[in-house]
Structure 1
Amino acid sequence: MNLRRGAFFSIAALALTLTACDSGTEPTTDTTGSAPASAAAAATCPTDAPQGSVDPEWTLRGTTGSVEVVGSTDTAAPRIDVQKPFAVAETQVHTLTAGDGPIVPDAASVSVCYMGVDGRDGQVFDSSYERGTPADFPLDGVVPGFKKAIAGQKVGSTVAVAMAPADGYPDGMPDAGIQKGDTLVFAIKILSVEG
C-alpha cells in the first residue's frame, strides 16, 4: 500500500511504499551525528506478535466503534484491536512511548516500522512488521495523517494515529481494500531521521 497522495503500488503484494520503501537500499539513517537508532534496530522490524495478555497503551472511542493499540517492542510487532466499524471525524495522534532522539522536522525523511488497519473491517491492510523491513520516505510525500503522526515526534518514539478519511484516502484505495470514507489506524515506530 502506498501512503503517497494519489499513488498506490506494492513492495511485496500490497506493501506501503511511502515513496520507495523497497528500493533495495538500506534504511535511511541520520548522518548529522544524532543517529538515534542502532544499526541493528534500524535494519529490521520485529515480526512476532505480542505474547500473552498486554494492556492497551491507547484506547480511543470513535464516532462509531473503538480501537485499542499496543505499541511494538524490540521483539514484538504492535497489536491494533478494532471494535468495528471504527471511525473518527478528526485525526487523533497518541504517543505510546516517547523516544529520546532528535525531533522529526516537517520536511524530514524518516525510516519507520508501521502497521496499518482499516477501521471499517479491523483488517491489517499493510505492515512493514509483517515484512520485517522498515519503510524509508520523505514526510512531504505521504498522506497528511501519516505526516501528522510523525512530524514533531522524537526519534525512537512509538506512536499511534487514528486517521480521519480526509487525512488518508477520502476517495478510498480499492487496491488495498480501503473504501471511501474509511478511518485508518496506524502503529508506528520511528527508527531514524534525515534532514
Structure 2
Amino acid sequence: MQTATSPSGTPPVMLSIPRAVPTQKLRPPKKNIPQTPWERTRVLDACREYVAKQKPVPPLPADELKVHADRVVEQLGCEPIYRDYIGVLLNNEMWRESLASVPYERRLLLLPKCLRVENKCPAPFDEFGLLCKQCGLCSIQDLQAEAERLGYAVLVAEGSAIVMSLIQTGKIEAIVGVSCISVLERAFPYMEAAAIPGVAIPLLQDD
C-alpha cells in the first residue's frame, strides 16, 4: 500500500498495488482442441448457431450429443478429433439460458486441482478437495475469491461422487465446471442423470 500526496492539501489517496500475476509457460492446446483463438471462436459461433436453429432440449444422452457434434463437425469441415470439444460447447449452449436463471448462491463452481503449482502448493486436501491457502502461486485463489464474491459455492476437486452428493442435498441447482475434456466426459452421465443446468469450461491442456 502506498500513499499519494496531494498538492491541494486534500486528504491523501491510498493506492494499492495489485499482486503479481504468476507466469506460466506458454504451451499449445491438446490435439483434440482447436489450436488458435480464432478457430475456437469459429467453432463456438457455429455451436451457438446450430443450437439456435435446431433447438435440442437438454439433458441429452451422451450418444445423442455426439450425433449433434458430428453434424457441426461436418458443417464446419473441421477435424473429427474436435468432436468431444464441440459436444461440450453444444451442451453449454443448450443449458446457457437455464443456468442464467439460477441465482449465484445456488450454483457450484468446480475447479481442477491441476491449476496449482503441484511441487510448491502448500494447500492440504480434505474429503471435499483442495483447501486453498491463498499463497498466490497460481490462479485458484483469484478464481475462488471472485466466484465467492458473487455467491457461488466453490470446490477445487475432481470427482463425480462429490458432485452427486452436493446435488442430492438440494442446495445446488446449477454447476459450472472447469476441467480437461477427459474428466468432463466422465462426469457427464452424472450431470445427465441429475438433469440440472451445467456448463463446462474445457482446459486447453490436461496436465
**TM-score, with length taken from structure 1:** 0.30
Q: Which has the higher contact order (CA 8 A, sep 6+)?
A: 1
More strand by proportion, 1 or 2?
1
